[in-house]
Amino acid sequence: MPAPLPPGPRLPAALQTARWVAQPVPFFERCRARYGGRFTLRLLFGPPIVNLTDPGEVKAMFAAPPEVLAPGVGGRVLEPLVGARSVLVLDGQDHLRQRKLMLPAFHGERMTALAGLLEDVTAREIAAWPRGEPVELHPRLQALTLEVILRAVFGLEPGGRLDALRAVLTEYLEVGAAPVNMMPALQRDLGPRSPWGRFLRVRARALGLIEAEIARRRADTSGPHGDVLTMLLEATEEDGTPMPDLDVRDELMTLLVAGHETTASQLAWTCERLVRTPRVLGALQAAVDAGDEPYITATIQEALRCRPVLLFTQPRFVAQDVEIGGVRYAAGSCSLAANVHLVHHDPALYPDPYAFRPERFLEQGPGTFTWLPFGGGRRRCLGQAFAMLEMRVVLAELLATTDLAAAPDVAGKDEGRRRRHITVSPGSGARVVLQARRGAPALQVA
């Protein structure tokens, strides 16, 4: 008889899912208080998920071979958004081969070469934001990060093609963010007004435009391009076989979904924390003026710790019997995931864990198994360097050109969290008031 799974809530799966969607952080914290650092959730989609919070168990989970713990199975909730050939949903040799083909596009030197483009796009977008009135930063940051992807990943220049793709991808990302798109039982096309039906139609338009862009670029002999799409089209297997167009398409969708919403929401959270922590906001503005890169980076790292947009790592399905932390998990019984929020708010790992204090990362750098915003192991986010660069550029430009304050209607209180598919963003959209700031040049990030 297989060993029982770690304890967890006895609520029906529908109620657990409702709390997981609507109030994930209080739900997780109540579970830890009642069941300890290892507990099982039963949701409406997928097998039971055992949440791990001990760094040693997280390390063992990351180290397990994919034939034992299969992350691709846990990632299939994303398949409607990113496609069946996405690196997020592949496992085993298929995943390793795809990841190897993608790695050169995210080499550090390649990312640094895009800094000038990032700065230009960021400066233009921020200059157009309203001054002197309450504004939600989250949708504006979404527009900014989408523009970055269209320019840096797709390699599009201003014009009709960029405008068409921007319009359909904006709709696609908004429709795709609905939590219903995580639940196979609700994925039924009940007509043009049904959430799933609308999603399917918008997805078809988005895929059509992306496939046309791939075909156009395949036929382009005008010369080298420095964008990620070109690098994917140039990627070849050891025998010289290029990446199939379907794979390129799904990886572009992956970069769009993973690199747009996560970065926009993380920047929104960073601003939400800054306007509620005046000491840090002042120190960061001084760091921008002085070109103090370590403090800027530490502030981003602390925001990623304090308000991670992904509350747990990609679940690993138990494909073979495995023992982790003295608990034996039977094949097929569950998936395992590190609960990122709980690891990041463990007082044994981070003293005063609910305080927003970037200095903690100046004193000691992020730990491999205690700082998990980009996942870990073989599935660590390929775009981590690009995301960190983008966040540094945006924060530097924003604080060099504006003064931030919380909007009057949300001042003095946290905004709470809003669920967007598997991510969480500020509940009120990171409402701030921006005032023009004079006399301080934008930091040039090398």
**Confidence class for position 442, pLDDT limits 50, 70, 90:** very low
Taking alpha carbons only, the member of 63, 70, 76 closest to residue 93 is 70
Taking alpha carbons only, the member of 48, 56, 54 closest to residue 7 is 48
DSSP for 273-317, written as a single string:
HHTT-HHHHHHHHHHHHHT-HHHHHHHHHHHHHHS-SBSBPPPEE
Higher pLDDT, 354 or 76: 354
Residue 287's identity, in one-letter code, is: A
Distance CA 56, CA 136 (A): 40
Taking alpha carbons only, the member of 273, 227, 309, 253 closest to residue 78 is 253
Q: If you compute the radius of gyration of the chain from its CA atoms, what whole number of angstroms results?
A: 22
Distance CA 405, CA 300 (A): 18
Residue 164's identity, in one-letter code, is: A
DSSP for 73-96, written as a single string:
HHGGGGHHHH-TTSTTT--HHHHH
Q: What Cα–Cα distance (Å) separates residue 294 from each residue in 183, 288, 444, 445?
A: 41, 10, 14, 12
Q: What is the mean pLDDT of residues 406-433?
A: 90
Question: Does residue 24 have a pLDDT over 70?
Answer: yes
* Residue count of the chain: 446
Residue 181: the pLDDT is: 67
Residue 126's identity, in one-letter code, is: I
Strand-strand pairing, 417-420 and 38-41: unpaired
Torsion of CA 344, 357, 310, 107, to 10 degrees: -110
Write the pLDDT tens digit of every residue in 271-308. Answer: 999 999 999 999 999 999 999 999 999 999 999 999 99
**Confidence class for position 439, pLDDT limits 50, 70, 90:** low
- Sheet containing 335-338: which strands, arranged edge to edge? 38-41, 49-52, 335-338, 316-318, 69-70
Question: Does residue 437 have a pLDDT over 50?
Answer: yes
Residues 6+ apart with CB under 8 A from 184: 45
Residue 91's identity, in one-letter code, is: D
Write the pLDDT tens digit of every residue in 133-183. Answer: 999 999 999 999 999 999 888 888 888 888 999 999 899 888 887 766 666
Write the pLDDT tens digit of every residue in 113-140. Answer: 788 889 999 999 999 999 999 999 999 9
56: its two tokens: 């040693």
**Confidence class for position 220, pLDDT limits 50, 70, 90:** confident
β-pair partners for 435: 403
Burial of 408 per CB tally in 10 Å (0-12, 13-18, 19+): exposed
Write the pLDDT tens digit of every residue in 47-56. Answer: 999 999 999 9
Task: Give all domains of the chain, ordered by start, each with its CATH number.
Answer: 13-436 (1.10.630.10)
Torsion of CA 213, 215, 217, 221, to 10 degrees: -150
**Confidence class for position 60, pLDDT limits 50, 70, 90:** very high
Residue 297's identity, in one-letter code, is: T
Residue 258: the pLDDT is: 82
- Strand, coil or helix: 388: helix
